[in-house]
Amino acid sequence: MHLRLLAVGDRQPAWVEDAFDTYVARFPREWRFRLECVRTAKRSKNSPVGRAIDEEADSLLSRVKSDEQLVLLDEQGTALSSQALSGRLSKWRSDGRDLAFIIGGPDGVSESIRRRANFVWSLSSLTLPHGLARVLLAEQLYRAWSLETGHPYHRE
């Protein structure tokens, strides 16, 4: 199973990149994890926000493979404990398809992405800065893997 994060916005503070890279470096080699950034659509006070959201959705969906499982990260999604995520990750892996996560733009994502998503996951009911969401995703994926494999990273 290969994992990807498709994220709107490419520039992140150094602390985000450092923390994200720290957890990604711990991922199992067979995941072949990749981060793919999509440029944030230009916004102006005279253009409707929906146009930017649709433009970002087109860019994101053009990168999603038809046979790929898609997980949308959204505060309106389903909350999971670390143990539940570990179980879900195991199910995703046994499905045999690659897995892509999406973090949308500053105004959210379009309905087309919501419809395409196989699962909508909430990292928190709080609205998170996108860089922090990247770090939390990486840490929780590493934690889920550690639970599944019996690695001592996670402690009860």
Say if residue 61's pLDDT is above 90.
yes
Q: What is the pLDDT of residue 10?
A: 78
Show Cβ contacts of residue 148 under 8 Å, excluding neighbours closer than 6 positions.
86, 89, 90
Output DSSP code: residue 62: T
Buried b or exposed e, range 112-129, using 16+ CB within 10 angstroms: ebbebbebbbbbeeeebe
CB 67 within 8 A of CB 10: no
- Residue 48 confidence class, pLDDT cut points 50, 70, 90: confident
How far is it, in rounded angstroms, from Cα 149 to Cα 156? 15
Say if residue 152's pLDDT is above 90.
no
Q: What is the pLDDT of residue 19?
A: 98
Q: What is the pLDDT of residue 151?
A: 84
- Give the E-state strand segments of 61-134 in sequence order: 69-79, 99-103, 119-122
Which helix (H) or strand (E) segment is 18 a member of?
helix 14-24
- Percent of the chain whose predicted confidence (pLDDT) is above 90: 84
Instruction: Give the model confidence (pLDDT) of 77-115 as tens digits.
Output: 999 999 999 999 999 989 999 999 999 999 999 999 999
- Percent of the chain whose predicted confidence (pLDDT) is above 70: 100
Say if residue 125's pLDDT is above 80.
yes
How far is it, in rounded angstroms, from Cα 51 to Cα 145? 38
Instruction: Give the model confidence (pLDDT) of 66-79 as tens digits.
Output: 999 999 999 999 99
Which helix (H) or strand (E) segment is 146 a member of?
helix 130-149
User: Which of helix, strand or coil describes residue 138?
Assistant: helix
Say if residue 156's pLDDT is above 80.
no
Greatest mean pLDDT among 124-128, 137-141, 146-150 lies in 137-141
Give the chain's domains with CATH numbers. 3-149 (3.40.1280.10)
How far is it, in rounded angstroms, from Cα 99 to Cα 57? 18
Mean pLDDT across the stretch 128-155?
A: 92
